[in-house]
Amino acid sequence: MKKNINLEDMTYEEMQNMYIKETYRGYRGVTTCCICGAKLPLAFSHNPKPVRPESWYGERENRCCGDCNSDIVIPARISLPFGDILTCNILTARYRNMNHEELRASFKSFPSMRGDNFITNARILEVCGIK
């Protein structure tokens, strides 16, 4: 029997959990983050360019988690000099040779890209029941 869901009776956390479960149900599959190595549901994966080679939603290789996307990939994109292809290429080559710890250290002082309602990869894994 299908249960009726009344959004007004749900807490924000319950709504987020429902969103996480439904998104994962719609697109199952797990990979590992190409930056930090954490397990990662494909439904919540991101393009890691310029830190790692570009990938698209639906691909299994070169996908990164939301934590790395917010803490490393978005800061790296914002930090690239607009219109200066040579410097962009030099920085991109440097990022690709850096491991997770080095990348984290590089953008440590960057303003946080994690919003108030940010969902960590660990929480996504927990809600989806991925061990």
Nearer to Zn ion, 36 or 128 (CB): 36
Q: How far is the CB of 116 from Zn ion (least distance, A)?
A: 21
Does position 33 interact with Zn ion (CB under 5 A)? The reply is yes
SS (H, E, C) the chain: CCCCCCHHHCCHHHHHHHHHHHHHHHCCCEEECCCCCCEEEHHHCECCCCCCCCCCECECCCCECHHHHHHHHHHHHHHCCCCCHHHHHHHHHHHHCCCHHHHHHHCCCCCCCCCCCCCCHHHHHHHHCCC
Q: How far is the CB of 64 from Zn ion (least distance, A)?
A: 5
Fill in the per-residue mask, 36 to 75: x = in contact with Zn ion (CB under 5 A), - = not in contact: x----------------------------x--x-------
Q: How far is the CB of 69 from Zn ion (least distance, A)?
A: 8
Residues of this chain that bind Zn ion (CB under 5 A): 33, 35-36, 65, 68
